[in-house]
Amino acid sequence: MKLKEIYPHLAAILFFLIVSISHLSPVINGLSLKQDDIANHKGVAKEIKDHREEYNEEPLWTNSMFGGMPATQVSVRHDSNLLSYVQKVITFWLPTTISVLFLYLLGFYILCICLGISPWVSILGSLMFGLSSFFFISLSVGHNSKIMAMAFMPMILGAFIYSYRKNAIVGAILMSLFLGLELRSNHVQITYYTFMILIPLGFSELIRFYFSKRLVVFFKTSGFLVVAGLLAVMCNFGNLFMTYDYLPDSQRGPSELTSQSLGDKEIKTSGLDIAYMTNWSYGLGETVNLIIPNAKGGGSGAYLLHENLMENDNVSNSLKNFVKDAYQKGWTINTYWGNQPSTAGPVYIGASVFLLFFLGLFFLNDRFKWPLLIILLISIFLSWGHNWIFLTQLFADFFPGYSKFRSVTMILVIAELIIPLIGIMWLFQLIEKKDEFLSKEIDLRFKKISSTKLFYILSSIVFFFLLSFILIPDVFLNFTSLNEQKIINQLSLTDPQTNTYVNELIHFRMSVVSKDALRSLILIFIILLFLFLFIKNKISKPVLIFSIGLIVLFDMWGISKRYLHNEEHSSLETQLTRKSGLKHWQDHDLKIYPHQAKAADLAIRDYEIALNNDLRVDVQNMMREVLNEFEDSDFRNRIANVQSFKELNFNSNYRVLEMGNPLNTARTSFFHKSIGGYSAVKVKRVQEVIDFYFQNEYNTLSQALKNNDFDLLKQNHYFNMINTKYYIFNIDGNGIIDFRSQNNKKPGVLKNPYALGNAWTVSKIKWVSSPDQEISFLNDSSFDPSKIAVIDNKYKHLIGELLNSGKSKVELVKYKANQLDYKIDSKNDELIVFSEIFYDKGWKAYVDGVETPHFRLNYILRGLKVKSGNHEIIFKYDLPIFNIASLFSLSSSLIIILLLLFLLFFIIRGKQFPEI
């Protein structure tokens, strides 16, 4: 390759670096994004990280949430996949936050180059795709694996098209790399959507090859792509297989319960419940967000903190007071008025981008347009979820794997890719074949019309469409959500003035939409003007490309900065929330240690170490080491407290329930082993016990605290048998209610007197013949988990009869996330119940070094029968496939790297790569 041919590509890379770094410049100053999902991930993965650092191994299991679960979809490092190093080279070892934006821009550029689009137009296309609001919104909340996988979507599509249209072998090599990197990102849902694009395109290519009598070439090309796909899969075999293996046992797998088990609640027998799948569904009117970003108000937030309303002189005081009064009555009037539960912002693809796409629908001369259009429409319809349930139900029932995914709005990533793709393909075609465009007539079935005339008609349609949203937005959109309307109806019964204030609110919201519609209209008008000047030979190609590039940059950059910017909290936010400093950025130490130990956490720690002098010394030594290591950090005390729990958790094993929203918080898991947590792939049986019993037992706990009647806690069979030792009811309280003097401390923690401990022996068995009976008996009045074990008949051969048992003590002597050591001294055969989650795909029991079958009891726990005498019992979690998969990953990724070097050799030498 000649240097002259490389310059445009080098210029593109340099430009992408400048855009990425300037947009996310605080990273260069050592700051990190405030990402809620990453903070949650840090919480649930803390035990895994600590184990990894301490023992230099992957635990593959964590006890930090929901009683215990495989680490498969929490945190597992697959270091043998060498593609991770390739990704670092591609992104020039940039910090992760910046590198993802760089990959977005580079990925679409590669797609355009694979399509034969010139480098300068390809750069423009990259801006159209890479600066979408959806990317920055996803980045701001911490959906890192999703956006990383999305970055490789255009690269995969480019390699796919290149294989069929140019060189099958080169395309296949690129496919193995890009697909391997996307799979490494570990977001199967995005990969699924990627193949929703590839499969229809593959069929369209089959038809094209068939009519050109080149079917043999098609099948050879497809064969190369299949091999490339297999290499990509083998690079990620460990993660993919472990996910596949766990899926049936997770909440996304089939249930063994019947649909009658929950009374009037039907249990989903395979995949996710359709209501859960579609909880986040895009509204039909909300789709206007694609070109008018504030069509539904943008992102969720309180108008009380919104300067554009509360500090706007053009807004009446009566409306401002209504917002304040509504808040006092428990109604936070939201800046978002769509029907999703909440949203961080709109999926705005750009008014300027949409115009090029819309024109491309009629003028683009490429057969790929039609399958792309069909896929685009399907993705939009599916994003509507429960608002157009027929199609979603159809896909959930008949398309393998679709029912495993939640948040159907995510499928709009397909629209995010296809809309700018069709737009840039047409723009390039117009630039290169303008004369053909001017002379061409379009057959509209009923009439033939010149391209220029149709161009004016289509431009007018877009113009008047946006104009209507400026003048009469209420004709097309609703300005109150369904939930808001219910509240309004209730308030209007007691306050007749409510409707007057609501009308003012609606008019304000209409002005918000009209303002953004005007913005979109102006941008579209400017682009139409430049297109018109180009068609009339008034401006050159470079001027057109540069002008549209500036408009697209202004359009996309401006909206993305609404949701991820480098500015400080507004004065209003600081006044009402006491938050100050940069709104979206924080010190890097706060990213690593996102949760601060509260008084209740420290009370539990101090209570535990007071019982064990050796542990107290170890914890204090750990804190001293950390304080010395982080001597220059402003957060040294915070970090020292966090790390003290590492030592505590290595030397203890109990569980904690933090009241509030325990099933959707990772804060507790950062410090303790929690019975709650933050995960969408809990163990299926644990999820079912939660569905059955959690709320009732939580209510009992609340009642016990309210009435000071702690005997009620004995009824909480689930909490007690999972060894919930502490209940945090006030995180700022530094006292523990343990029925002893608290020295005037403020109570924050209740020590559960009925927690059953790490393991105990029982004297009775309740045999059941079905999962329904097993889970139902846990709530039976005769069930006492300290004395009775509920066991399925299928385990009878492992247990036999119990004689004079249930009197021996079992002691936990050593704890690791993936290994638990116990000892027992018994005079009789004993049936032991362990307060650990049963999962026999990895956990194995050893009695005195001999592997011994264990079994499930009490629906979710582990059980073991032992003979009389002194015994050492060890539970180990081991997945041999993990080590085998590492070999597959190493060899496959090495093959891909060698193929890439081979390809690079041909490119550098300027030689033609072999074709089939």
Mean pLDDT across the chain:
92
Query: What is the reported pLDDT for 303?
Result: 85
For 568, phi then psi, to 5°, come to -85, 165
- Contacts of residue 802, defined as CB under 8 A and 6 or more positions apart, other chains included, come to 762, 763, 764, 765, 829, 831
Q: What is the per-residue DSSP string for 343-374?
A: -S------HHHHHHHHHHHHH---TTHHHHHH
Reply yes or no on whether the pLDDT at 367 is more than 80.
yes
Reply yes or no on whether the pLDDT at 742 is more than 70.
no
What ranges do the domains of the chain cover?
595-751, 759-878
Reply yes or no on whether the pLDDT at 911 is more than 80.
no
- Arithmetic mean of pLDDT, 561-565: 91
Reply yes or no on whether the pLDDT at 94 is more than 90.
yes
Reply yes or no on whether the pLDDT at 1 is more than 70.
no
Query: What is the reported pLDDT for 654?
Result: 97
- Arithmetic mean of pLDDT, 118-133: 97
Give the Cα separation of 668 and 681 in Å (integer): 18
Query: What is the reported pLDDT for 2?
Result: 67
State the pLDDT confidence band at 327, using cuts at 50, 70 and 90. Answer: confident
Query: What is the reported pLDDT for 271?
Result: 61
Query: What is the reported pLDDT for 259?
Result: 55
Token duo for residue 50: 């600590």
Half-sphere exposure of 111 (CA within 13 A, CB side): 28
Residue-wise pLDDT for 744-755, tens only, equals 678 999 999 999
For residues 365 and 569, is the Cβ–Cβ distance under 8 A?
no
- Cβ atoms < 10 Å from Cβ of 487: 18
10 Å CB burial of residue 759 (0-12, 13-18, 19+) is buried
Angle (CA) 226-228-229 rounded to 5° is 65
- Cβ atoms < 10 Å from Cβ of 38: 17
The label of the residue with tokens 């199967």 reads 188
Reply yes or no on whether the pLDDT at 397 is more than 70.
yes
**Three-state DSSP class for 845?**
strand
